[in-house]
Amino acid sequence: MTTIQAIRERIAKHPAGRTMTPSEFAGLGTRASIDMALKHKLDAKTRSHHQTVTFQIPDAPLPREIVIASIVVALCLYLFVVHSATTRHPFLEPQMFRDRNTVIGLAISFVWGFVLHGNLVLISLLMQELRGFPVMTLGLMMSPRGFGVMVGMLVAGQLVRHMDPRVLLGCGLSTLGLSAWAMSQWTADVSAWDVLWTGGLQGIGTGLGFVPLSTMTFSTLDARYRTEGLTLFNLVLFSGISSGIAVAVNILTRSININHATLSEYVSPFNELLRLPGAAGLLGHAQRSGLAALDWEISRQATMIGYLNNFHLVALLSLLVVPLAFMFRRTRGAAGSGGGGH
């Protein structure tokens, strides 16, 4: 959809009677090829890892499919960069990347999409697989997140006129990091209340940060480049979303396998804990039922560790990009003047 939008806007920019040159069509072709191949690669990687967790997907790809998609992405990206650097009418104007605010905004938007949606997918999987919540109940539990986004955007829309938007963006990112850190303290017996308040806090951070991020990204960009800049902003954001989901599932499945093998090493006749009176009957390793119970609990704890590893990563990335928020260049009419110059 982002590619289609970019093509429509690119065609609309041309004066009446002027057609697009072959060079511009080449830029469109390589750009579209990058989008489709990258999206297919990330989706294929996500489906491939889903096959190893708890349910089977019939169309899970072979490893060579991911490799082929990666080669196509690399080749088309090379062609796109060479085309943009050598043609007279590139699809994306290189002048845009000389604007510091735009470059910083694109970098933060990628991380923004990376940390938010992968986290959302993981919470849904966690509550369904480990806690057994039905889908309808889970949807109600996730609703405070959307309400928090609405409140955060309303508050940010007013505060951005009276305070430094860089501070507001930093507060939003810090709130995202705080909510992710709180999630990293969960156990396998996480309650619905924990999901409710952390989701609401994450929603508030999203609303607080996205308003100043979108305004500062284009605040110093020349007006003639803003249409292309907005398209690129959306492309980078959605690429971050796809990458975040793929990486989150990758970390989850690898963590499950690694931690299951690690925890299984402690299941031994020489482990004194398994000889305690309470564990001997329920988790006795001499009976099949006891071994099955042990394997179930090991799998449960290994899965939870996988989720916690992802939450730690989200918290770390959210806090690492906070310094980038203060690298934006301020413009006239910013905080303190009440002019709403952004």
Tell me: the pLDDT tens digits for 271-295?
A: 776 666 666 555 555 567 777 777 8
Cα separation, 335 vs 165, in Å, equals 7
Tell me: the pLDDT tens digits for 92-147?
A: 777 788 889 999 999 999 999 898 888 888 888 888 888 888 888 888 888 899 89
Tell me: the pLDDT tens digits for 196-213?
A: 999 999 999 999 999 899
Number of H helices, E strands in the chain: 11, 0
Structure tokens at 177: 């990091």
Residue 253, amino acid: T
Cα separation, 143 vs 180, in Å, equals 17
Cα separation, 121 vs 307, in Å, equals 11
Q: Is the pTM of this model over 0.85?
A: no
Cα separation, 268 vs 243, in Å, equals 40
Tell me: the pLDDT tens digits for 7-49?
A: 455 545 554 444 444 444 444 444 444 455 455 544 544 444 4
Of 47, 79, 98, the residue nearest 106 (C-alpha)? 98
**Could you tell me what percent of the chain has a pLDDT over 90?**
27
Tell me: the pLDDT tens digits for 50-106?
A: 444 443 444 555 677 777 877 887 888 788 778 777 777 777 777 788 889 999 999
Q: Are 248 and 119 in contact (CB under 8 A)?
A: yes
Give me the pLDDT at residue 337, please: 39
Give me the pLDDT at residue 305, please: 93
